[in-house]
Structures are given as C-alpha cells and as structure tokens.
C-alpha cells in the first residue's frame, strides 16, 4: 500500500466516523421521541430536553434538524411527531441496541455496563459486524 492510499484510507475512516457521530445524534433523538410518543401520545420539546439531559434550546435545535431531514414534524400547540422515516429509524436503532446488548451480555459484560456501552456502540457498528453479531447470538442460542 502506498503512502497516498494509506492516507486516503485513513481519511475515509475518519470521515465515516464523523458521519456516524452525526447520525448518532439523530438516531438518539428519534428513539427518544418514539419512546415519549408511546408513553404520552406526543413528545414535547421540554420532555425531550429533560429525557436527553440537555437544555431546551439544544433540544429545539435537534428537533429542527430532524424536521429538515424529514424525520419529524411538529404541530402548533402540540408536540413533535416522527414521520414514517423517523419511526423506521427509531425502530432500527432499537433493534441494533438490543443486538449489541445481547452480544455484550453473552460475552459476560454486566447488564448495566452492557446497556451503557451499547448506547455508543449501536451507532458505529457496521451492517457487516451487526450481521456477524446476529450469527454469533444464533450459534449461542
């Protein structure tokens, strides 16, 4: 491998990590909004901020981004609601989270640590790795 191609590969890996980090925020918010809708029938920005542990302006900014990305809508005097695409994202994240937790538990990681660690890992695991995790869990079965 030449030095130029090694640098290009490294730059691509860093770019993928930045993209995944940006998507992680959207994924966390869609999952939280979906949870709030399931529990309360809607997700108000105040509730989103409280559940995410951020300020109201930070949550409002994230909701605005979700709306720009076509993942959420809001209604006057009501809360925030997910579009079909946003709801699908929330479900994908929930499934990914469960798979990562289950793998960590199968490896002997304590439940509280597995849940906490999965919050970060679920956003960065490739589809290839996720499929390998699922195969591993099936074999453990």
Tell me: do 72 and 99 sit in the same domain.
no
Whether residue 28 is predicted with pLDDT greater than 70 in this model: the reply is yes
Q: Do 30 and 59 share a domain, yes or no?
A: yes
Q: Which residues pair with 74 in a beta bridge?
A: 80
First and final C-alpha spacing in the chain: 41
pLDDT in tens, 72-106: 999 888 899 999 999 999 999 999 999 999 999 99
**Which structural domain, as residue segments, surrounds residue 100?**
88-140
Contacts of 94 (CB under 8 A, 6+ apart): 31, 34
Could you read off the pLDDT of 38-79 as tens digits, one per residue?
999 999 999 999 999 999 999 999 999 999 999 999 988 889
* Spatial contact of 87 and 32, defined as CB atoms under 8 Å apart: no
DSSP annotation of 42: S
Report the CATH number at residue 130. Answer: 1.10.60.10
Rounded-to-integer distance, Cα 94 and Cα 110, Å: 20
Domain count for the chain: 2
């Amino acid at each position: 491998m030449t030095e130029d191609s090694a640098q290009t590969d490294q730059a691509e890996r860093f770019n993928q990590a930045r993209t995944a980090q940006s998507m992680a925020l959207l994924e966390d918010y869609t999952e939280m909004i979906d949870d709030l809708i399931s529990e309360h029938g809607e997700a108000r920005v105040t509730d989103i901020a409280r559940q995410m542990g951020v300020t109201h302006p930070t949550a409002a900014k994230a909701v605005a981004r979700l709306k720009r990305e076509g993942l959420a809508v809001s209604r006057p005097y009501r809360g925030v609601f997910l579009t079909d695409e946003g709801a699908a994202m929330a479900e994908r994240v929930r499934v990914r989270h469960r798979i990562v937790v289950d793998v960590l538990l199968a490896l002997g990681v304590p439940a509280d640590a597995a849940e906490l660690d999965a919050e970060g890992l679920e956003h960065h695991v490739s589809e290839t790795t996720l499929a390998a995790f699922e195969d591993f869990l099936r074999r453990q079965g």
